[in-house]
Amino acid sequence: MTEQRDYYENERKFAQLENAVSKNLMNALRAKEEELDSELNAIQNLNDDDFEKIQYNRKKRLLEKYKRDNHWRSLGHGELTECTSDTDFFTISENSPLLVVHCFKNDIGMEYSEYLNVILESLAKKRLDIKFIKLNVERHPFLVSTLNVFVIPTVLLIKQMKVIHRLVGFDEMGGSVDFSEADFNNLLNSYRINEKFLTEKNSDDDEDA
C-alpha cells in the first residue's frame, strides 16, 4: 500500500510540474507572439519616406563597411602573414591597432601550431579589423625578450600596441586541438579584440596577470 501511495503521489507531483511547465511555455509563446505582432504593425505603418530612410541608412552602413574593409586590406589585413623582421613587427603594430600574434618554434608543439595556423588563416579572411601574424621565436630573440614570451606556443592579443592577454599553450582552449574557429573568435571578442572597442580608454585594457 505504501508503494502504491508513493506512486500516486509522484504521479500527482509530476502532473503539477507538467502543468506548470506548460503554463510557462504558453506564457512565453504568447509574449513572443505579441512582440512579433508589434513589429509587424510597425512595419505595416511605415510610409514611403520611412522606407527611403531605411534604405538610405542601409546603403550608408554598407558603404562605411566597404571603406573600412578596403582600409584594412591596404594594411595587409585579410591573411595570416609571417613577421620578417623586428622593424616589420613594429611597423605593423603602429599601423594595425588590433593584432593576434602566434609565437611558434619549428621543433616544438608543431601539431598545435599547425592547427592554430589553419584557424588563424580562416579567421583572417573574416576578421579584417585584426592583423594576424606568425612570429618565429628563433629568428626574433629581441622581440621574444621584449614581449616576454617564455612558452611555445603563445598567442599574444595586442590592442593599440599593448599586450592585453596571453594565450599560453592551449589550456585556455581545453588543452587540445578540438577547439573551433568560432571558439577562437569568441575568445577574441571576450578580450575585446574588436574594432568596435577601439575607442575605449587604454586603462580598461591592462594585461591579465
Residue 209 lies in a domain: no
Residue 172 belongs to domain spanning: 76-204
Count up the domains in the chain and report the number. 2
Strand, helix or coil for residue 136: strand
Residue 192, number of CB atoms within 10 A of its CB: 17
Domain boundary among 53, 71, 89: 71
Give the model's confidence band at 1: pLDDT under 50 very low, under 70 low, under 90 confident, else very high: low
Please give the grid coordinates belonging to residue 102: 602566434
Helix (H) or strand (E) holding 72: helix 48-74
**Is the domain of 56 the same as that of 93?**
no
Q: What is the DSSP letter of 161?
A: T
Domain boundary among 71, 86, 121: 71
Residue 102 lies in a domain: yes
**What pLDDT, in 10s, does the model give residues 59-88?**
878 888 889 889 899 999 999 999 999 999
Q: What is the DSSP letter of 195?
A: G
**What pLDDT, in 10s, does the model give residues 142-188?**
999 999 999 888 999 999 999 999 999 878 887 777 889 999 999 99
Q: Is 78 left (phi over 0), alpha (psi -120 to 50) or beta?
A: left
**Is the domain of 94 the same as that of 152?**
yes
Report CA Rg, the chain.
Answer: 26
Residue 166's closest CA among 69, 101, 82, 92? 101
**What pLDDT, in 10s, does the model give residues 97-110?**
999 999 999 887 77
pTM assigned to the model: 0.69
Residue 136's closest CA among 80, 85, 94, 79? 85
**Is the domain of 65 the same as that of 98?**
no
